[in-house]
């Protein structure tokens, strides 16, 4: 039996707050989501459709916990395997999807980076009513890190920049996200110290 998510999805949760949460709250939510994606990645699972609407909130309080849902487009791959196929939601999908390239688990890192960006800025890096325009911007325009990012801590901006690398070979891994300074009280930790805990399964819901 699925747990009832009283807070609705993360888009609605943020909308009720005028898309403005503190960086401390963004960090808390970001850490929980990164743990969930790291857990999936440790089993070779790619979600392939991470977005605000696929993150459900346990309630509508400032202590609500996010849970990843909707595994309908997910795939399981081996460590060195690449796959192909246009899946996901335009505003959250990385450039390689629209170029028709082969890809791996790094697509989830990009999508998670878009969510981090939205939590910190209150809007998506690429957004338009016209999906073709989003794809055009995604393929041709630099990720916008405007003056508003001066209000964000350097550690937060640093990891988002690394997650939103358009060249997937330069994009950080989910392990590097987990070890970054922003998620670890200002100090990076060794990747070797990471371990996927079964407790993190509580941050996932199958539907």
Hey, which residues are catalytic here? 49
Structure tokens at 164: 């939103």
Report residue 26 CA to chain centroid gap.
12
Residue 6: count of CB within 10 angstroms of its CB: 12
Q: How many CA atoms lie within 13 A of 156 on its CB side?
A: 25
Question: Following CA atoms 12, 51, 33, 180 in sequence, which dihedral angle do they give, to the nearest 10 degrees?
Answer: -120
Cα distance from N-terminal residue to C-terminal residue, the chain: 10
Cβ contact 202:33 at 8 Å: no
């Amino acid at each position: 039996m699925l747990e009832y998510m009283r807070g609705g999805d993360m888009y609605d949760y943020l909308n009720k707050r005028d898309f403005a949460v503190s960086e401390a709250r963004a960090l808390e939510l970001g850490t929980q989501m990164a743990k969930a994606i790291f857990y999936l990645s440790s089993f070779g699972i790619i979600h392939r459709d991470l977005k605000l609407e696929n993150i459900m909130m346990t309630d509508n309080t400032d202590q609500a916990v996010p849970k990843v849902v909707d595994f309908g487009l997910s795939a399981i791959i081996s460590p060195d395997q690449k796959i192909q196929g246009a899946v996901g939601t335009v505003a959250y999908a990385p450039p390689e999807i629209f170029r028709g390239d082969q890809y791996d688990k790094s697509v989830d890192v990009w999508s998670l980076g878009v969510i981090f960006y939205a939590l910190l800025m209150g809007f998506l890096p690429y957004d338009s009513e016209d999906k073709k325009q989003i794809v055009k911007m995604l393929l041709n325009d630099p990720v916008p890190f405007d003056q508003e990012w001066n209000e964000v801590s350097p550690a937060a901006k640093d990891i988002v920049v690394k997650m939103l690398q358009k060249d997937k070979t330069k994009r950080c891994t989910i392990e590097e996200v987990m070890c970054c300074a922003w998620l670890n009280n200002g100090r990076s930790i060794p990747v070797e110290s990471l371990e996927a805990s079964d407790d993190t399964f509580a941050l996932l819901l199958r539907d």
